[in-house]
Amino acid sequence: AQSVTQLGSHVSVSEGALVLLRCNYSSSVPPYLFWYVQYPNQGLQLLLKYTSAATLVKGINGFEAEFKKSETSFHLTKPSAHMSDAAEYFCAVSSNTGNQFYFGTGTSLTVIP
Amino acid sequence: GAGVSQSPSNKVTEKGKDVELRCDPISGHTALYWYRQSLGQGLEFLIYFQGNSAPDKSGLPSDRFSAERTGGSVSTLTIQRTQQEDSAVYLCASSLGGQGAVNYGYTFGSGTRLTVV
């Protein structure tokens, strides 16, 4: 069985501060892990993905995530938050068949000016 | 098309009525997925189509929900006898099949916001 847990349904950071959004996964097979971002009234957009290559993955808009097998984590970070980063962020896990992605419940990021 | 197109973008319906939600995937994407997004509950998998294979319907919450995909392209999600708990955003996504979904991820549409009153 595969699942992801996102700790913290709401995160607030000041503009320019570090962004850290947490994701832990549960998978019986080597996982493929993803972060998606959803801006208001839009669909989900792929931020970055881990597919068993480099454990530190860089994505769009300055975001990156590190796969840590020992901690079963795939936390999303950005060194300096921008107002435009305010959105909902979803972590997801998939098997290598890609038949189904399992999404977390999402974390709403607020950036305070 | 350039992206995944969903229609309508908003739908308000009376309890007990049937609704149809449409998804037009990216041309060439063999895989198509429907998810339901309820407030504070993340994305709930509903159904998955891959090419000409039998769809994976394991996520459909009840027999009031059904979906079809004609000609391997456009898909319609039908909800019969709608209930208030059906109110949610219904998201469609498409991808290259199988490993392609893993390599490139899904492309999501903007969703249909369904409100049952």
What tens digit of pLDDT does each residue of A52-98 get? 778 899 999 999 999 998 999 999 999 999 999 999 999 999 866 66
What is the rounded CA–CA span in Å between residue A74 and residue A92? 10
Of A84, A92, A113, A112, residue with least CA distance to A10: A112
**Confidence at residue A51, expressed as pLDDT on a 0 to 100 scale:** 81
What tens digit of pLDDT does each residue of B20-51 get? 999 999 998 989 999 999 876 778 889 999 88
pLDDT band at B85 (very low <50, low <70, confident <90, very high): very high
The answer to whether residue A70 neighbours chain B at the CB level (below 8 Å) is no
- Mean pLDDT, chain B, whole residue set: 91
Long-range contacts: B44-48, Cβ < 8 Å, 24+?
B45/A100, B45/A101, B45/A102, B46/B77, B46/B90, B47/B77, B48/A99, B48/A100
- pLDDT exceeds 60 at position B1: no
Taking residues B80-92, report their average pLDDT: 96
**Confidence at residue B53, expressed as pLDDT on a 0 to 100 scale:** 87
- pLDDT exceeds 80 at position A102: yes
- pLDDT exceeds 80 at position A1: no
- Partners of B108 on chain A (C-beta within 8 Å) are 36, 43-45
Q: Which of A44, A46, A95 to mutate to test the interface with B (most CBs of B within 10 A)?
A: A44
The answer to whether residue B101 neighbours chain A at the CB level (below 8 Å) is yes
What is chain B's alpha carbon radius of gyration, rounded to the nearest angstrom?
Answer: 14
The answer to whether residue A64 neighbours chain B at the CB level (below 8 Å) is no
**Confidence at residue B9, expressed as pLDDT on a 0 to 100 scale:** 95
Which amino acid makes up residue B27?
S
Whether B109 and A105 lie within 8 Å, measured CB to CB? no
What tens digit of pLDDT does each residue of A6-65 get? 998 999 999 999 999 999 998 776 788 999 999 987 889 999 998 877 889 999 999 999
Q: Residue B71 belongs to what H/E stretch? A: none
Which of A34, A43, A105 faces B42 most closely, judged by CB atoms? A105
